[in-house]
Structure 1
Amino acid sequence: MLKSGVLFLFRHPQTVKKSLRSSQMKLIDADGRVSGPGHKLLLVSFDGFRWDYDQDVETPELDLISRIGVRAKYMTPPTLTMTSPSHFTTITGRWVEDHEVVHNMMFDQKTNLKVPHKQTLRRSEWWDTGATPLWITAQNQGLKVGSFHFPGGGANYSGQPVGRHVFETPGFPDDNETEWRQNIDQVLDWFSEEDFDFVTLYFGEPDNVGHAHGPDTPQHKNIIRQIDRAVGYLRRGIDAQNLTRDLNVIITSDHGMTTVKKRPLVDEIVLNWYLPLLKLASFEILDYGGFGILTPRPGKEAEVLEALAKVPNITAFAKSQIPESFHLKKSQRLPPVIIQAQLGFNLNSRFIVYVNKGDHGYHSGEMDMKTIFRVFGPDFRRDLVSEPFDSVHLYPLMCHLLRVTAAPHNGSTQVTQDLLLQHTIKAAL
């Protein structure tokens, strides 16, 4: 029974039921590579799960997953370390400058339109940028796919929706453990009863707890324990529904979390103290954590950048001068000026309005922005700790597991091939 969201069903005309679903039906060729259909795949994202959150809390289920599968030391998200941009990098394998989901909020510099995050999730024009997410690529190659609350899963791409998608119910608490179990049950039913091939499942925690209380608090430890119980519930459900031999599971996140510095008049950054924003800027999103964007009025860009250079604890870039490592410079959507706060500092535009005790949005090179990565299933090695890697490489790994031909992407199968059992490895897609 589905209580947590609004359900939409779409059967693409190219979707066909595959006849060879069992792992026993896979064939090994002379080079030791798998032929035949891929295994099923479940991608689970726990929003804001920092890479080390399980190190000061007892997490027996996550520990077990590490023993029966693979754990990366950490995974590096893209810059921007925000929910929508990072999730879309995972599902497309594209850097942010290529997929153009450049903020949690949909915006338009010319009209000053700003659409809040939860409403943006339903706006196809924000997501349908030319980068093709794996849901669409897979279902166009005959696979049955679904998205449960996953960012981008409710949009249409060139008019095509994701085969099955469930939106979050507005106002429903993200930490409802009963609902979590219902959502897991529903997704496992899709696999076992309806023969789905690929499903993405999203949980809004521990992000909300991290924002409200900070990452180094008793509340943070409590939500990590709840997540660990959910992972155990998922693992037992896989066994109960006889999916163990045919379902690969990836558990990851979009970004980490850091403690916000809060000493009054010392740590606060109020940009209007340093430059008259109303006079110099025609558009801005500055009251949104550690990352800001700004459109100077005509002829005012140099003056804006000169003033911003005097603001402590930030770095401001003209878009053309953004370092290549940010993978943002080529973006057409980003305004001419971006502002990156130093770790733990938050941006305010005209007044001190920021109340979060924890936040993200900082450069992905900061350790507090790194994320968790766990995988297990029939295609993965056991009891392996892998070196860190960038989340952009998850996409070609998922394409390989599903045996689909990848759309253009920025990742590489070479980065993750050591995670796989030898007989599942084949040449890069």
Structure 2
Amino acid sequence: MGCQGALLSSVVLLTLFFLVAGGPFPKQHPKNKLLLVSFDGFRWNYDQDVDTPNLDSMVQDGVKARYMTPAFVTMTSPCHFTLVTGKYIENHGVVHNMYYNTTSKVKLPYHATLGIERWWDNGSLPIWITAQRQGLKTGSFFYPGGNVSYQGESVTVSRKEGIFHKYDDEKEWRQNIDTVMKWFTEDDLDLVTLYFGEPDSTGHKYGPESQQRKNMVLQVDRTVGYLRESIEKNNLKDSLNLIITSDHGMTTVQKNASDLVEFHNITNFTFQDIEFELLDYGPNGMLLPKEGKLEKVYEILKNAHPKLHVFKKESFPERFHYAKNDRIVPLVMYSDPGYVIHGRINVQFNNGEHGFDNEGMDMKTIFRAVGPNFKRGLEVEPFESVHVYELLCKLLGIIPEANDGNLAVTLPMLHSGSSCLLYGKLPLGLIIAMTLLRKIF
């Protein structure tokens, strides 16, 4: 106990020094590297209606969650940022795929928003920056949020997709994997996040039950096979932990229903009472009524449609962890599964959509993991995506930023005593003390 107490005092003092001084942690080399891969819009059960031998082999060789519950709002950028910050969306502030400004009325589309630093850098440090400040090297390949600076610091190496990027190019997918392998072997990166825009795009265009979506899942599975072969070919099998997950699921849009949610057809509602609107982006939306019009607009909308749920910001259900942020406007809403929200005119024509209540099964997504630190042949109970960040930090042996996750949720996936570096090898009490210090300062 005396030795452990001395170690506690020494490391806490050292941690305090680096935190207060603001300097970087000494260069560290985790025992194992980490690759986080996201296949956008991969619903939890997409592997059940097609043959997916490579995803199946990951279950035999590693860990599978029955499903993973994404954060609300179930959209690409917000959910991906939750994975790398461990925060609910109201706490990390990337509340939408679009950058918007309620004063200037500016709205920017998804691809443009990827490069808007002030949208992403608003108080939360993603894992790339935290890892770098603790001596590691990181990379991001097309991952949302990986191409801007945070508190003046950029990811060690990154790639950003172009606005006309072709998401379904299988040849390019393999080239991207080859690049990531070089990042690990030649550039000695410790952490890489790799993003693929499928099967999301196909699910939107053709619907989640379509043959086109099933074909795309086969392509995803082939890519998983190529990725694992590449890991082995590059002699990384025993030193690289691989996690494959996604941001959200997908559901079929009720395009021909007789009771569509159309604001332009709601009795007594007028856009003349609205200062700013964020509608027509799926099944959720926000309204900023003009001064003095909040009560009027709310009373008109709160029971206007049986498929539409409208709340004042302060009354939005707590379970969503979505409303307590300055970027959220006074009226927040979402619609029932399958129903999108149409604003001034009907402009949404997707056959599949996400953004719905994250408790709906069609919004659930996947989690697979394999590597030297993970157990084999283990299926775990469902968990929320907010807990992934703490697992990533544990695998890298770094001290996490303040977050909403809980390592105890994912720790049973790992071999007993498996970890890396200072953070993972220290006694639990010391880890807690160091984490608290990190949060304080």
TM-score, normalised with respect to structure 2: 0.88
Alignment of 1:60-79 (within 5 A): 60-79=53-72
The answer to whether the 8 A contact 1:72-1:373 is kept is yes
Equivalent residue, structure 2, for 1:316 = 310
The answer to whether the 8 A contact 2:390-2:407 is kept is yes
TM-superposition CA deviations, 1:311-334 (whole Å, max 9, x none): 230100100001110101311101
Equivalent residue, structure 2, for 1:269 = 261
Q: Matched residues in 2 for 1:308 and 1:342: separation?
A: 15
Please state whether the residue corresponding to 1:380 is helix, strand or coil: coil
Select 1:424's aligned residue among 412, 418, 433.
418
Q: Matched residues in 1 for 2:392 and 2:33: separation?
A: 10
Q: Matched residues in 1 for 2:403 and 2:163: separation?
A: 33
Equivalent residue, structure 2, for 1:8 = none
Q: Answer yes or no: is 1:282 the counterpart of 2:262.
A: no
Equivalent residue, structure 1, for 2:79 = 86
Count of equivalent residues: 399
Equivalent residue, structure 1, for 2:223 = 230
Please state whether the residue corresponding to 1:168 is helix, strand or coil: coil
Q: Matched residues in 1 for 2:294 and 2:305: separation?
A: 16
Select 1:177's aligned residue among 163, 167, 170.
170
Q: Answer yes or no: is 1:203 the counterpart of 2:196.
A: yes
Q: Answer yes or no: is 1:117 the counterpart of 2:110.
A: yes
Match for 1:39: what amino acid?
N
Match for 1:373: what amino acid?
F
Moved more, 67-76 or 301-310: 301-310
Q: Matched residues in 2 for 1:352 and 1:323: separation?
A: 28
TM-score, normalised with respect to structure 1: 0.91
Alignment of 1:401-420 (within 5 A): 401-420=395-414
Q: Matched residues in 1 for 2:194 and 2:336: separation?
A: 32
Match for 1:298: what amino acid?
E
The gaps in structure 1 that reach 5 residues or longer are: 1-12, 22-36
Deviation at 1:354, TM superposition (A): 1.0
The answer to whether the 8 A contact 1:44-1:201 is kept is yes
The answer to whether the 8 A contact 1:261-1:267 is kept is no
Select 2:139's aligned residue among 127, 146, 151.
146
Equivalent residue, structure 2, for 1:136 = 129
Q: Matched residues in 2 for 1:389 and 1:317: separation?
A: 27
Select 2:325's aligned residue among 328, 331, 336.
331
Q: Matched residues in 1 for 2:40 and 2:270: separation?
A: 33
Moved more, 348-357 or 397-406: 348-357
Equivalent residue, structure 2, for 1:100 = 93
The gaps in structure 2 that reach 5 residues or longer are: 1-22, 436-441
Q: Answer yes or no: is 1:390 the counterpart of 2:384.
A: yes
Match for 1:121: what amino acid?
L
Q: Matched residues in 2 for 1:258 and 1:44: separation?
A: 22
Deviation at 1:353, TM superposition (A): 1.4
Q: Answer yes or no: is 1:357 the counterpart of 2:351.
A: yes
Q: Which has the higher helix share?
A: 2
Deviation at 1:423, TM superposition (A): 2.4
The answer to whether the 8 A contact 2:241-2:369 is kept is yes
Deviation at 1:259, TM superposition (A): 0.1
Q: Matched residues in 1 for 2:71 and 2:179: separation?
A: 30
Equivalent residue, structure 1, for 2:42 = 49
Q: Matched residues in 1 for 2:36 and 2:331: separation?
A: 35
Please state whether the residue corresponding to 2:176 is helix, strand or coil: helix
Equivalent residue, structure 1, for 2:369 = 375
Runs of 4+ that moved beyond 4 A: 13-18
Q: Answer yes or no: is 1:250 the counterpart of 2:243.
A: yes
Match for 2:214: what amino acid?
K
Q: Answer yes or no: is 1:167 the counterpart of 2:160.
A: yes
Deviation at 1:15, TM superposition (A): 8.5
Deviation at 1:308, TM superposition (A): 1.2
Equivalent residue, structure 1, for 2:15 = none
Q: Which has the higher strand share?
A: 1
Q: Matched residues in 2 for 1:116 and 1:421: separation?
A: 43
The percentage of counterpart residues that share the same residue type is 48
The answer to whether the 8 A contact 2:111-2:162 is kept is no
Deviation at 1:336, TM superposition (A): 0.6
Please state whether the residue corresponding to 1:215 is helix, strand or coil: coil
Deviation at 1:241, TM superposition (A): 0.3
Deviation at 1:179, TM superposition (A): 0.3
Deviation at 1:384, TM superposition (A): 0.5
TM-superposition CA deviations, 1:34-91 (whole Å, max 9, x none): xxx3410000000000000000000000000110000000000001100010000000
Deviation at 1:16, TM superposition (A): 7.1
Equivalent residue, structure 2, for 1:342 = 336
Q: Matched residues in 2 for 1:277 and 1:237: separation?
A: 57
Alignment of 1:29-48 (within 5 A): 37-48=30-41
Please state whether the residue corresponding to 2:100 is helix, strand or coil: strand
Please state whether the residue corresponding to 1:325 is helix, strand or coil: helix
Q: Answer yes or no: is 1:158 the counterpart of 2:122.
A: no
Moved more, 336-345 or 271-280: 271-280
TM-superposition CA deviations, 1:141-176 (whole Å, max 9, x none): 000000000000011101111111100022121000
Match for 1:338: what amino acid?
V
Match for 2:263: what amino acid?
L
The answer to whether the 8 A contact 2:250-2:363 is kept is yes
Q: Matched residues in 1 for 2:270 and 2:246: separation?
A: 35
Match for 1:211: what amino acid?
H
Deviation at 1:278, TM superposition (A): 2.2
Q: Matched residues in 2 for 1:315 and 1:268: separation?
A: 14
